[in-house]
Amino acid sequence: MGKGKLAKFADMAANPLVVECPYATLHADGFDLRGRWNRDFFRNERPLVLELGCGRGEYTMGLARMFPDGNYIGVDIKGARMWTGAQEARREGMDNVGFLRANIEFIDRFFAPGEVSEVWLTFSDPQMKKVSKRLTGTAFMQRYRAFMQDGGLMHLKTDSNFLYTYTREMLSANGIKPLAETRNLYAEPSEGMLALAQSIQTYYESMWRARGIDIKYLCFSLPLQGALTEPEVDIPLDEYRSYSRQKRSSLEVGR
């Protein structure tokens, strides 16, 4: 491991805005902040919003700046990436931002029922061959149900036509109507949820747009009751190689 990464991990360990939870600790002792994020971490009662797979935290930080009446947590397993947002938030003295370094497969163990009002999925790996790992798949929707508020919002912003089409088909198969949707977010000025999705643009998003790849967006309310069914549909795979599709690391082997 390079010295740069070691220094970043040391910064992360000393940053009060960062929470790290190794897999073994999660199983042995549970998670202390579950159900108490607002009381013990943010020390207020603002709505709690998650960005899953936050990378550098650009969206987490953007939302926190735009909407100071909410609390925002970026979640990722890549500590070296998350360092950027965590350091920035600490320098700016932001009191409505936090970062959780953890495996998203266990996300339902970090938050209590009804604790989260919104979830953003920003440029997630489409996992074209593994539906069980797809962050908009029904297996993950069940996890989100465990902590979402009734009527809570799910946002998907993606470069992947595969992931967008799959998610749209998943919603249709389960009778869930999108509240906002587009296959080309920046085609024209928008209002409401579409305008919100346009208002924050990440570094990699700008790179995809420069390559002529349209940015897709979906917003929907996840019902908390009823069985969820996987769509039975063949979807063409993405033909291009996207940026930043590396394998995820593991907290089990240390920082």
Active site residues: 125
- Do you know the residue count of the chain? 255
d(Cα 120, Cα 156) in Å, to the nearest integer?
A: 6
What's the start-to-end Cα distance of the chain, in Å? 10
CB 64 within 8 A of CB 42: no
**What is residue 30's DSSP assignment?**
-
Contact 55, 202 (CB under 8 A): yes
Token pair of 45 as six digits: 């009662």
Phi, psi at residue 149, to the nearest 5°? -75, 155
Report d(CA 214, CA 3) in Å as an integer: 37
Q: Which of 73, 159, 83, 150 is nearest to 119 (CA)?
A: 73
- Residue 220 CA to residue 210 CA, distance in Å, equals 28
Q: Determine the number of helices (DSSP H) and then strands (DSSP E) in the chain.
A: 8, 8
